């Protein structure tokens, strides 16, 4: 979501006559930041602090802080960092370009979201993208689920679906601009259309988006209680919808799930995972899981460990519980010491690394059609793409392959990626 918002902001500024510059030459630095975890917020404070020497020497650059981290921190950033000239919440993105121009005059601009149902959108598709061949489209804003650990409803507001024609128009604009793979975004994409009350929901939108001519379509993320057979059927029917699904479990313990205000039980989650795999036998299933939630006992934690062993996810995004001010869980009794949280997180990661490696090594010898979307962040001279099931594939090749679909044969595997060789260049 932050990449998507940054790309659209960049596009809007370029169209208003701004020029993108390196950090050393820039007059304005714009940060789009996340506040879902405390560590991300700490990184923002650290990044903002880096500009003290430049500011003290030359009174430049001005800095703007946007996104849900700006909504969380508010205008207290101004008093700590005088070079910050704008703070803008995620639901005021439509006012951001004009706000940045006001900030360039030296004005301190505050665009914080006061009404959780109000939204000022930016009517730009992300033409100036971080990646030329992959694009994102947000289909809904905010969240109404109020999980007790989660700050999203407080900083991104209440749930609001975008009109389907608006979403589909943006998808088509990206296709016309050379995008080959699009990901539909939402805090819970399965809730899409719940506020329309006309029966048009995510399954309908997904099917229409798949039929726009996009070569590959993905979506994140899905809440278990709202993932339906209807959605799974669309995934099975439409060949360009990738058979990959992020279905956060968050805990394997029913007691902890209830404390989290997650609206499903472990057994209900297991049934959803089985249902998805029955429609999509080659499904790449990923999840999110928190270690060390307040009051979590060793028995509760072992329930999470056993859930990993039973379900055998391809990938799990794990995190030690992080208090977020203003959320119910932050005031719950039974907060665990940080060392206990981290020790449990390490055990989760060790178990999941073994599961992922055992799954991935069974794929050696298989062939996949992948979009080569850029150079690999690790490994000199390597390129990177993803299988339809969302597994990272590293391969040797020249940059002429970037932006093309190729068929690769998997030659080796690690827990976090596959390595392949190109056996056919498709286009």
CATH number of the CATH domain containing 51: 3.40.50
Q: What is the CATH number of the domain that holds 142?
A: 3.80.30.20
Contacts of residue 337, defined as CB under 8 A and 6 or more positions apart, other chains included, come to none
Q: Are residues 236 and 352 in the same domain?
A: yes
Q: Are residues 393 and 320 in the same domain?
A: no
Q: Are residues 379 and 298 in the same domain?
A: no
- Residue 256's pLDDT is 98
Residue 87 lies in a domain: yes
Q: Are residues 179 and 317 in the same domain?
A: yes
The structure tokens 């048009």 sit at: 200
- Residue 364's pLDDT is 98
Contact between 288 and 247 (Cβ < 8 Å): no
Phi first, then psi, for residue 422 (nearest 5°) are -75, 125
- Residue 154's pLDDT is 87
- How many other C-beta atoms can be found within 10 angstroms of the C-beta atom of residue 328? 16
Q: Are residues 380 and 245 in the same domain?
A: no
Query: By residue range, what is the domain housing residue 71?
Result: 2-111
- Residue 377's pLDDT is 84
Residue 119 lies in a domain: no
Contact between 371 and 408 (Cβ < 8 Å): no
Residue 128 lies in a domain: no
Residue 162 lies in a domain: yes
Q: Are residues 197 and 150 in the same domain?
A: yes
Element counts in the chain: helices (H) and strands (E) = 14, 17
Q: Which uninterrupted H or E stretch holds 386?
A: strand 382-386
pLDDT tens for the chain, 427 residues long, are 989 999 999 999 999 999 999 988 999 999 998 888 777 888 888 999 999 999 999 899 999 999 998 898 888 899 899 999 999 999 999 999 999 999 999 899 999 988 777 888 888 889 999 899 999 999 999 999 999 999 998 888 899 999 999 999 999 999 999 999 999 999 999 999 999 988 899 999 999 999 999 999 999 999 999 999 999 999 999 999 999 999 999 999 999 999 999 999 999 999 999 999 999 999 999 999 999 999 999 999 999 999 999 999 999 999 999 999 889 999 999 999 999 999 999 999 999 999 999 999 999 999 999 999 999 987 678 999 999 999 999 999 998 999 999 999 999 999 999 999 999 877 6
- Residue 427's pLDDT is 60
Q: How far apart are CA 359 and CA 167, in angstroms?
A: 35
- Which of residues 303, 326, 358 is at a domain's end? 358
- Which of residues 358, 385, 405 is at a domain's end? 358
Rounded to two decimals, what is the model's pTM? Answer: 0.93
Q: Which uninterrupted H or E stretch holds 254?
A: helix 254-259
Q: Are residues 271 and 401 in the same domain?
A: no
Using DSSP, state whether 98 is helix, strand or coil.
Answer: helix
Residue 160 lies in a domain: yes
Q: Are residues 323 and 239 in the same domain?
A: yes
Q: Are residues 88 and 145 in the same domain?
A: no
Q: Are residues 350 and 383 in the same domain?
A: no
Burial of 171 (0-12, 13-18, 19+ CB in 10 A): buried
Residue 129 lies in a domain: no
β 418-425/405-413 pair status: antiparallel
- Which of residues 305, 335, 358 is at a domain's end? 358
Contacts of residue 26, defined as CB under 8 A and 6 or more positions apart, other chains included, come to 61
The domain tally of the chain equals 3
Q: Are residues 375 and 311 in the same domain?
A: no
Q: Which residues pair with 86 in a beta bridge?
A: 64, 109
Q: Are residues 152 and 266 in the same domain?
A: yes
- Residue 379's pLDDT is 67
DSSP 353-371: HHHHHHHHHTTTT-EEEEE
How many Cα atoms sit within 13 Å of 289 on the Cβ side?
A: 32
Residue 122 lies in a domain: no
Q: What is the CATH number of the domain that holds 387?
A: 2.40.50.140
Contact between 152 and 39 (Cβ < 8 Å): no
Residue 36 lies in a domain: yes
């Amino acid at each position: 979501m932050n990449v998507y918002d940054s790309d659209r902001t960049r596009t809007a500024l370029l169209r208003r006559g701004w020029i993108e510059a390196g950090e050393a030459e820039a007059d304005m630095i714009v940060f789009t930041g996340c506040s879902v975890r405390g560590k991300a917020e700490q990184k923002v404070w650290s990044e903002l602090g880096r500009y003290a020497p430049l500011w003290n020497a030359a009174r430049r650059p001005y800095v703007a802080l946007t996104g849900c981290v700006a909504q969380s921190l508010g205008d207290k950033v101004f008093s700590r960092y005088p070079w910050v000239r704008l703070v803008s919440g995620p639901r005021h993105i439509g006012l951001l370009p004009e706000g940045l121009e006001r900030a360039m005059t030296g004005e301190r601009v505050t665009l914080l979201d006061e009404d959780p149902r109000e939204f000022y959108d930016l009517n730009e598709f992300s033409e100036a993208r971080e990646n030329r061949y992959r694009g994102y489209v947000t289909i809904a804003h905010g969240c109404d689920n109020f999980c007790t650990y989660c700050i999203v409803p407080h900083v991104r507001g209440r749930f609001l679906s975008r009109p389907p024609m608006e979403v589909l128009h943006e998808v088509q604009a990206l296709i016309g601009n050379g995008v080959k793979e699009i990901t539909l975004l939402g805090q819970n994409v399965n809730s899409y259309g719940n506020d329309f009350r006309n029966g048009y929901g995510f399954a309908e939108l997904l099917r229409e988006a798949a039929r726009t001519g996009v070569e590959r379509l993905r979506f994140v993320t899905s809440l278990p209680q709202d993932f339906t057979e209807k959605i799974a059927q669309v995934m099975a029917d439409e060949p360009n919808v990738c058979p990959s699904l992020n279905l956060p479990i968050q805990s394997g313990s029913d007691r902890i799930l209830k404390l989290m205000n997650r609206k499903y039980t472990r057994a209900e989650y297991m049934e959803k995972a089985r249902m998805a795999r029955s429609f999509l036998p080659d499904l790449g299933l990923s999840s999110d899981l928190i270690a060390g939630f307040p009051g979590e006992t060793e028995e509760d934690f072992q329930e999470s460990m056993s859930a990993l062993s039973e379900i055998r996810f391809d990938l799990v995004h794990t995190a030690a519980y992080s208090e977020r001010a203003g959320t119910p869980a932050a005031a719950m009794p039974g907060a665990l010491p940080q060392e206990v949280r981290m020790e449990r997180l390490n055990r989760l990661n060790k178990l999941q690394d073994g599961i992922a490696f055992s799954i991935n090594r069974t794929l050696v010898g298989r062939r996949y059609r992948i979009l080569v979307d850029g150079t690999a962040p690790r490994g000199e001279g390597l390129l990177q793409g993803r299988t339809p099931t969302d597994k990272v594939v590293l391969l040797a090749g020249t940059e002429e392959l970037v932006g093309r679909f190729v068929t690769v044969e998997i030659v080796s595997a690690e827990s976090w990626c596959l390595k392949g060789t190109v056996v056919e260049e498709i286009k």
